[in-house]
C-alpha cells in the first residue's frame, strides 16, 4: 500500500518530464519546502530579506493586539470617568433645543476655537432656524438675493469648550456605525442626530444654566421675527406642524381699523395672558381659553392683524387653512400637538359648512331657531346635517370638539377669520368659543392719513422717496390726501397698493388720488349692478327649484294646485318681495310658506357667494314638511353657485 502511494508522484513526474521537461523544472523550483528558494526569490526579485519581513509582521501583529487591549482599557476608563466624574444630559433630535445648542456652538465656539472639522449648510436646505446664520439679530435680505450665506455647525464627534469656568463636551452621535472610517469623514449630519452634553463635575447645575443660556440666545435671535407654523400637507407625518417661514415683526400701527377697538383687543389679550388670570380661571373651574372672530371683506387686514398680535405678545403663530383640512382627525391631531401658549389662526372658518338644519318636523328645533336660543354642548357637537355628501372636509362638529371638547388644550388664543359672518352657525360663535367679535371694515380718512405718513416717513424709507419732502410738507400732503378718501368705501389693501405704486413720489400720489378713487367707485358700481342681474336670474331659477321640491313632496296634482294658489298670492311683480309680504298672511298653506323659505335661503346663499358682501343676510333653511306635520325623506340638495346646472343656463 505504501509502495503504491509512493509510486504515484514518480509516475506524475515521469509523465510531465516526458511531455515537457521545462514544466517539471519549474514545479520543482517552486515547492513550498524549498525555503532557500523563497529566500533567494525575495532577496533577488523583491529586494527583501524574508527573515526581516517575518519579524516585522510579527511585531506589527503584536502591536495591533496590544493597541486593541489598550483601546478597550481606555474606553472602560473613559466610561468610568464620565460615569463618576461628569454630569450629562441627552437631547433628542426632534427637540427644538437640539437645534438651539448646535446654533450656539456654531456662533460662539467654532469661530473662536478654529475647529478644522465642520459641517457646512446653506439656507437652501429647509430648516426652521436658518435665521441664525450669524450673530446679528436681524437679516439683511437684500444681501441674500444672489448668494445665501454658509452656516457652519459641529460635525460628528465631541466638541470641547469652556463655559462659566466649567469644561463642557457636546457629542453629536451618528445613528450609523463605521468600523474603519471615523464618523466625521464618512457622512455629514442631517439634523436627525441626538446630542449628549457633558460637564466635568458631579453637579447638573452648570448644565441647566448652559441650556437656559442657549434658549435665551435663540430668543434674542428671534426677537425681530415671528415663527409661523403651518399644517403639514402629509397627513401621515408624525409631526403635524411644520415651520415654514420666519416673518419680520409687523407693528400693530400698520393694521388700520378702529383705534378704540384695537386698544380694547390689546388690553383683553394682555389681561388674558396675565398669570393671575389663569389662576382665576383654574380656581373657578373655567376653561382657560380665548377666542376671537375677525370678520370683514377681503383686504381689510384680518391676517395682518394676526401677525401683528403674534409679534406684539411674542407668541408663535400656528396657521390652519380650513379648506385644506380633509377630515376631522387631521384637525384633532393638529390641535393636540399645539404648545400651551400660542396663537392659532383658523382662516376661512365659514368653509366648514353652512348653518346646521333642524330635524324635519321638529317643532322644538324650529321654535329654538326662531327664538335665537343656543343649544348645549352635547347638541353643538352632534352630527352636522348641513355638509351633505362631502365627507372629505372637516365638519362643524369636529371643529367644535377641538375648540372646547374634552381633549382640547388650554392656554392658546384662537383667531378665526371669515368673509361671511352671517353664514356661521350659532354654536360656533357662542360665548366660550368666540369671546369677542371684531369687525375690520373699510378704511377711514383718518386711517388713510396715518397710512400715508407711514408710507412716506423719511426715517423709514429709501432716500429717493423722501428727497423732495421738507419740514411740514409731509403732514400737509397727508391731510390733503386723506380729505379725498371716502369713508368706508376702500379697503386698506386697495389704498396700500395705490401708495406702493407711487412710493417714489408723495406729490404724485396726492395729485392722482381723486382720479383713482373715482375709477374704483365706478368699478364697484359696475360690479354691484352685475351682481344684481345675476341675483335676479338666480331668484327665478331657485323659485323653480323650490316648486320642484314641492312636486316631489305632494305629488303632481297637489303641487299644481299649490303653485296656482301661490301665483295668485305673489302676482307677477318682484318675486322675492311678494313672497316676503305674502308669507305674513295666515291664509297661506304650510307648503306655500316652506317653498318661500327654501327659495329665500338658496337665493341669499347665492348672493353671498357671488357678491362677497357681508351685508346680505342669509336666512335659516327650513325643511319641507307635509300638511299633516309628519316627516318625509325630502331631498333638499340644491345646486350652489357655479355648479354645472347653472353654468349651462
β-pair type (343-347, 413-418): parallel
According to the 3-state scheme, what is the secondary structure of 54-87?
A: HHHHHHHHHHHHHHHHHHHHHHHHHHHHHHHHEE
Residue 614 CA to residue 155 CA, distance in Å, equals: 57
Residue 358: per-residue pLDDT: 45
Grade residue 602 by pLDDT with cuts at 50, 70 and 90.
Answer: low
Residue 433: per-residue pLDDT: 86
Residue 370: per-residue pLDDT: 39
Residue 309: per-residue pLDDT: 93
Does pTM surpass 0.75?
no
- What mean pLDDT is reported for the chain? 72
State mean pLDDT over 112-135: 54
β-pair type (290-295, 436-439): parallel
CA neighbor of 638 nearest in space, from 612, 599, 609, 596? 599
Grade residue 329 by pLDDT with cuts at 50, 70 and 90.
Answer: confident
Grade residue 345 by pLDDT with cuts at 50, 70 and 90.
Answer: very high
pLDDT exceeds 80 at position 565: no
pLDDT exceeds 90 at position 111: no
pLDDT exceeds 90 at position 266: yes
Grade residue 261 by pLDDT with cuts at 50, 70 and 90.
Answer: very high
**Polymer length of the chain:** 649
In this structure, the number of other CB atoms found within 10 A of the CB of residue 89 comes to: 15
Q: Does 22 or 434 have the greater pLDDT score? A: 434
Which of 378-392, 504-518, 545-559 has the largest mean confidence? 504-518
Residue 594: per-residue pLDDT: 57
In this structure, the number of other CB atoms found within 10 A of the CB of residue 166 comes to: 17
Distances (CA, A) of 352 to 191, 331, 387, 407, 602: 37, 12, 8, 20, 18
Which of 140-144, 403-407, 424-428 has the largest mean confidence? 424-428
pLDDT digits 0-9 by tens, 603-645: 555 555 554 444 333 333 333 333 333 333 333 333 333 343 3
The percent of residues above 70 in pLDDT, for the chain, comes to 61
pLDDT digits 0-9 by tens, 55-84: 888 898 889 888 888 888 888 888 888 888
Residue 557: per-residue pLDDT: 54
Which of 8-17, 124-133, 241-250 has the largest mean confidence? 241-250
Q: How many helices (H) and strands (E) does the chain have?
A: 26, 13
pLDDT digits 0-9 by tens, 164-211: 889 998 887 766 544 444 455 555 666 677 888 999 988 899 999 999
Grade residue 381 by pLDDT with cuts at 50, 70 and 90.
Answer: very low
pLDDT exceeds 90 at position 583: no
Residue 517: per-residue pLDDT: 92
pLDDT exceeds 60 at position 25: no
pLDDT exceeds 80 at position 443: yes
Residue 605: per-residue pLDDT: 59
Residue 211 CA to residue 199 CA, distance in Å, equals: 12
Domain ranges in the chain are 84-223, 230-439, 459-511, 526-647
Grade residue 280 by pLDDT with cuts at 50, 70 and 90.
Answer: very high
Residues linked to residue 231 through DSSP beta bridges, in sequence order: 241
State mean pLDDT over 512-532: 90
The lowest-confidence range among 1-10, 76-85, 526-535, 541-550 is 1-10
Residue 7: per-residue pLDDT: 58
pLDDT exceeds 60 at position 127: no
Q: Does 641 or 216 have the greater pLDDT score? A: 216
pLDDT exceeds 50 at position 647: no
What backbone phi and psi angles, to 5 degrees, belong to 344? -105, 125
The lowest-confidence range among 75-79, 213-217, 231-235, 426-430 is 231-235
Residue 584: per-residue pLDDT: 44
Q: What is the DSSP letter of 584?
A: T
Grade residue 388 by pLDDT with cuts at 50, 70 and 90.
Answer: very low
β-pair type (290-295, 150-154): unpaired
In this structure, the number of other CB atoms found within 10 A of the CB of residue 547 comes to: 17
Half-sphere exposure of 75 (CA within 13 A, CB side): 6
Grade residue 366 by pLDDT with cuts at 50, 70 and 90.
Answer: very low
Q: Which CATH superfamily is domain 230-439 in?
A: P-loop containing nucleotide triphosphate hydrolases (3.40.50.300)
Residue 4: per-residue pLDDT: 47
Amino acid at each position: 500500500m505504501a509502495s503504491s502511494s509512493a509510486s504515484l508522484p514518480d509516475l506524475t513526474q515521469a509523465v510531465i518530464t516526458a511531455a515537457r521537461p521545462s514544466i517539471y523544472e519549474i514545479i520543482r523550483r517552486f515547492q513550498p519546502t524549498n525555503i532557500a528558494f523563497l529566500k533567494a526569490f525575495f532577496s533577488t526579485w523583491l529586494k527583501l530579506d524574508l527573515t526581516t519581513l517575518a519579524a516585522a509582521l510579527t511585531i506589527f501583529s503584536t502591536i495591533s493586539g496590544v493597541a486593541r487591549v489598550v483601546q478597550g482599557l481606555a474606553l472602560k476608563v473613559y466610561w468610568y470617568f464620565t460615569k463618576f466624574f461628569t454630569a450629562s444630559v441627552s437631547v433628542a433630535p426632534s427637540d427644538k433645543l437640539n437645534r438651539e445648542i448646535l446654533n450656539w456652538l456654531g456662533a460662539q465656539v467654532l469661530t473662536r476655537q478654529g475647529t478644522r472639522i465642520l459641517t457646512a449648510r446653506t439656507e437652501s436646505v429647509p430648516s426652521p432656524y436658518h435665521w441664525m446664520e450669524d450673530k446679528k439679530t436681524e437679516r439683511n435680505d437684500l444681501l441674500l438675493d444672489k448668494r445665501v450665506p454658509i452656516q457652519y455647525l459641529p460635525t460628528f464627534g465631541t466638541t470641547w469648550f469652556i463655559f462659566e469656568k466649567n469644561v463642557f463636551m457636546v457629542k453629536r452621535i451618528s445613528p450609523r456605525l463605521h468600523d474603519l472610517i471615523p464618523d466625521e469623514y464618512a457622512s455629514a449630519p442631517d439634523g436627525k442626530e441626538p446630542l449628549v452634553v457633558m460637564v466635568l463635575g458631579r453637579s447638573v447645575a452648570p448644565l441647566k444654566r448652559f441650556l437656559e443660556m442657549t434658549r435665551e440666545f435663540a430668543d434674542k435671535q428671534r426677537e425681530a421675527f415671528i415663527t409661523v407654523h403651518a399644517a403639514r400637507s402629509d397627513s401621515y407625518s408624525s409631526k403635524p406642524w411644520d415651520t415654514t417661514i420666519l416673518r419680520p415683526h409687523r407693528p400693530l400701527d400698520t393694521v388700520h381699523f378702529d383705534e378704540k377697538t384695537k386698544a380694547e383687543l390689546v388690553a383683553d389679550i394682555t389681561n388674558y395672558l396675565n398669570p393671575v388670570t389663569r389662576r382665576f380661571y383654574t380656581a373657578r373651574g373655567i376653561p382657560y381659553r380665548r377666542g376671537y372672530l375677525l370678520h370683514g371683506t377681503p383686504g381689510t387686514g384680518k391676517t395682518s392683524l394676526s401677525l401683528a398680535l403674534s409679534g406684539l405678545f411674542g407668541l408663535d403663530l400656528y396657521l390652519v387653512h380650513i379648506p385644506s383640512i380633509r377630515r376631522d382627525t387631521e384637525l384633532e391631531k393638529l390641535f393636540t400637538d399645539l404648545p400651551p401658549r400660542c396663537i392659532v389662526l383658523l382662516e376661512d372658518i365659514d368653509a366648514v359648512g353652512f348653518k346646521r338644519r333642524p330635524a324635519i318636523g321638529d317643532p322644538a328645533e324650529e321654535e329654538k331657531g326662531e327664538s335665537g336660543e343656543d343649544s348645549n354642548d352635547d347638541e353643538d357637537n352632534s352630527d352636522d346635517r348641513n355638509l351633505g355628501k362631502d365627507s372629505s372636509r372637516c365638519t362643524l362638529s369636529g371643529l367644535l370638539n377641538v375648540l372646547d371638547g374634552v381633549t382640547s388644550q388650554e392656554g392658546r388664543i384662537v383667531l378665526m377669520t371669515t368673509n361671511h359672518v352671517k353664514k356661521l352657525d350659532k354654536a360656533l360663535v357662542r360665548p366660550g368659543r368666540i369671546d369677542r367679535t371684531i369687525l375690520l371694515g373699510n378704511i377711514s380718512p383718518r386711517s388713510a392719513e396715518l397710512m400715508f405718513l407711514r408710507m412716506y416717513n423719511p426715517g423709514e424709507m429709501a432716500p429717493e422717496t423722501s428727497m423732495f419732502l421738507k419740514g411740514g410738507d409731509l403732514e400737509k400732503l397727508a391731510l390733503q390726501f386723506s380729505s379725498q378718501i371716502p369713508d368706508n368705501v376702500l379697503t386698506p389693501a386697495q389704498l396700500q397698493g395705490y401708495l406702493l405704486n407711487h412710493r417714489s413720489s408723495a406729490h404724485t400720489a396726492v395729485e392722482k388720488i381723486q382720479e383713482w378713487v373715482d375709477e374704483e367707485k365706478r368699478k364697484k358700481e359696475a360690479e354691484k349692478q352685475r351682481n344684481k342681474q345675476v341675483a335676479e336670474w338666480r331668484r327665478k331659477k331657485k323659485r323653480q327649484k323650490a316648486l320642484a321640491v314641492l312636486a316631489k313632496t305632494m305629488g303632481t296634482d297637489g303641487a299644481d294646485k299649490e303653485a296656482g294658489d301661490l301665483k295668485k298670492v305673489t302676482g307677477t311683480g318682484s318675486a322675492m318681495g311678494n313672497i316676503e309680504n305674502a308669507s305674513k298672511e295666515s291664509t297661506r298653506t304650510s307648503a306655500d310658506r316652506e317653498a318661500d323659505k327654501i327659495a329665500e335661503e338658496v337665493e341669499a346663499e347665492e348672493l353671498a357667494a357671488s357678491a362677497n358682501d357681508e351685508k346680505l343676510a342669509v336666512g335659516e333653511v327650513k325643511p319641507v314638511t307635509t300638511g299633516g306635520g309628519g316627516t318625509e325623506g325630502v331631498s333638499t340638495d340644491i345646486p350652489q353657485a357655479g355648479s354645472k346646472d347653472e353654468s349651462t343656463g
